[in-house]
Amino acid sequence: MPRFLADGRIRIAVAIVACLLIALPMLLAAFPYGVLKGVIEDRLSERFGRPVTIGRMERVDRFGFSPVIALSDVRVPGPAWTGKTDLARVATMRIGFGVLSLLKGDLALHDVTITGARLHLIRTADGRENWRGSERRGGAGGGNLNALEVRDSRLVYEDAKQRRSFDLAFVSDAARGLRLAGSGKVRGTPVSLAIRTPAISDRRVIPWPFDARLAGQGLKMHATGSMAAPLDTDDMTLDVTAEAADLKLIDAIIEAGLFRTQPVVLSAHVRRQPGRWLIDRLDGRIGRSDLSGRLTVDKTGERTKIEGTFASRLLDFADFSSDEGLARGAAKERAIGPRVVPDTKLNLAKLGPTDGRIAFRVARIVSRDGPSSLTAMRGTLTLDRRRLTISPLTIAMRKGRITGDVLVDQRDGAPEPRVRLDLRLADSSIAALGGGGGSVTGRVDGRALLNGRGSTLREVVGRSDGRIGLVARDGALPAEIAAALGFDAGRALLAGHDDRATLRCVVVGLAMRDGTGRAQTFVVDTSQSRLDGSGTITFPGEVLAIRLTGAPKRNAILRLPGSATMTGTISEPDIVVPREVKSAGNIFKAIGRAITGHQGPVATDADCGALATRVLR
């Protein structure tokens, strides 16, 4: 006998410890877990944030280290705003688990049988969710679960925010596998939904395949793939196809903040990793516009990070509006008239905590309304805490290009963003900007440097400060127009149909203040005449109020004194000649001056180079 055991007190202590080591496993093996019913109700109530009740709880087996617990009449109520609608009710449950996992604090369920479950998930239009208050368990899968059987159970889902609802039967057993099937509605469209996977059983299937189909009038989606383990949505690969009458119908399922469009067909190969979505391939078509690319969405941090590239071989901007949206736009244009500045939306207020960078390239731009002056586009979008930059931006035209940067900044939380436009137009032409053809030719360059607030591009320009410059030069125009610009009525009337004059330059420079551009420079200089203007162009209406005075560069045949006014809009200008200029008296005076040779001073050539440098700086 060891010397330390000679002491009787030590022998007694060792005996007690030995008895405890023997008794503790025996106690665990025979423990009546039903006595913990109150404790489990309290823990579940704490987790869900509302009083969870269990009608009855008892241990089914008598002895062992893998006990089976039976529960009946389990009720998880919904929050107070759902009234009497419970989040979940379960008629009976049988749960088998390992005692050792319980001692380690990481409960591992082995076998679960559920009968008569009713799960009712609700989300309101303002975003409240009746399942919130519970601890999120992630997507770690079924763990060591050997078997899951579900009988006579249903899942009801009502989402007023996305206008979708489903009523699905839920069954799982070794013979039929795991099945969810039923019907519902997505934005008023009746649909059917079916999800199939192998059963969760001791006959482990790795990887775990799944198949989900949603079908209805104007909306079809199919996803097939596999998970690393049963129910492990954090580690899966899937291929998705979707066909819908409108991209917004697809958005009602995936919740990506998309918009209404023309009919859409999409396919994608997607990988899911913990906290990350990797869209390795995305192909599709919206209307007649095609789309391809890749995208990575990283949600491992506090803010979502997006990185990707997109390309289109052919794009029509009208495809990114629904028929109703196009009709509203057409009605608005009929009501207010055509506008040069588009009504493109810029507001970022609804954007969540998302940052990222996306490069895009469009090989060919077309328009359902006829030939487009824009032909191609490329650029990079960078988003950082509601600060969106498009830089560099290049828009190709039938002749020339637009380059520059666009900044949309809504970091201050204002309802409308602050927008900065820094754009240059280079090497274009009057014909390209005017839609082709025309009797006036010339190279066109431009510059716009504007700052303003607004939810659309048109609103921004209508409230902007800055400057706009436009220069046309080295062109030609009909001689009769050149003479008219110098108020030489005689040469305007006598010029031949094919007679041409040189267009030396057209230079317009606007100083913008709160959406009103005051013409600091307004010159039309030809080989026969010069026209100067002063006044304003007011946005967003694009309203013209320009006073025009002109003079010939040599003695006129019949020079009319006075001035004219340019009114209307940029798209539909109107030249108004005062009545007194056209009066018989004024005409006789002009004839008299022509006879006497006293017609007033002639115009000189404008310094086109200096003027162009000033407005294009």
Q: How far apart are CA 263 and CA 506, in angstroms?
A: 44
Q: Amino acid identity of 469?
A: G
pLDDT tens-digit readout, 279-304: 999 999 999 999 999 999 998 888 88
pLDDT tens-digit readout, 122-172: 999 998 999 876 544 444 555 567 788 999 999 999 999 999 999 999 999
Mean pLDDT for the stretch of residues 292-319: 93
Mean confidence (pLDDT) of the chain: 86
If one compares 596 and 111, the residue with the highest pLDDT of the two is 111
pLDDT tens-digit readout, 355-370: 999 999 999 999 988 8
Question: What is the three-state SS of 327-389?
Answer: HHHHHHHHHHCCCCCCCCECCCCCCCCEEEEEEEEECCEECCCCCCCEEEEEEEEEECCCEEE
pLDDT tens-digit readout, 432-459: 887 665 788 999 999 999 999 999 999 9
**For the residues of 580-617, what is the DSSP string, one character each?**
TTTSHHHHHHHHHHHHHT---PPP----HHHHHHHHH-
Half-sphere exposure at residue 40, Cβ-oriented, CA atoms within 13 angstroms = 16
Length of the chain: 617
Q: Which two tokens stand for residue 476?
A: 């030609």
Q: Residue with structure tokens 């609802």? A: 165
Mean pLDDT for the stretch of residues 20-49: 78
Q: What is the pLDDT of residue 584?
A: 42
Which of 68-77, 91-100, 204-213, 256-265 has the highest average model confidence (pLDDT)? 68-77
Q: Specify which residues 281 forms β-bridges with.
A: 269
- The pLDDT-based confidence of 14 (bands split at 50, 70, 90) is low
Q: How far apart are CA 181 and CA 241, in angstroms?
A: 19
Q: Chain-centre distance of CA 264, in angstroms?
A: 16
Q: How far apart are CA 72 and CA 295, in angstroms?
A: 47
Instruction: Report the share of the chain in percent with pLDDT over 70.
Output: 84
If one compares 5 and 496, the residue with the highest pLDDT of the two is 496
Q: Specify which residues 288 forms β-bridges with.
A: none
Task: Count other C-beta atoms under 10 Å from residue 300's C-beta.
Answer: 11
CB 166 within 8 A of CB 184: yes
Q: Residue with structure tokens 């067909």? A: 265
Element (DSSP H or E) covering residue 421: strand 418-429
Q: What is the pLDDT of residue 577?
A: 58
If one compares 328 and 407, the residue with the highest pLDDT of the two is 407
Helices (H) and strands (E) in the chain, counts: 11, 30
Q: Which two tokens stand for residue 195?
A: 């999800």
Mean pLDDT for the stretch of residues 410-422: 94
The backbone torsions φ and ψ at residue 496, rounded to the nearest 5 degrees and listed phi first, read -70, 160
Q: How far apart are CA 11 and CA 596, in angstroms?
A: 144
- Region of poorest pLDDT, from 66-70, 560-564, 580-584, 613-617: 580-584
Is the pLDDT at 186 greater than 80, yes or no? yes
Is the pLDDT at 594 greater than 50, yes or no? no
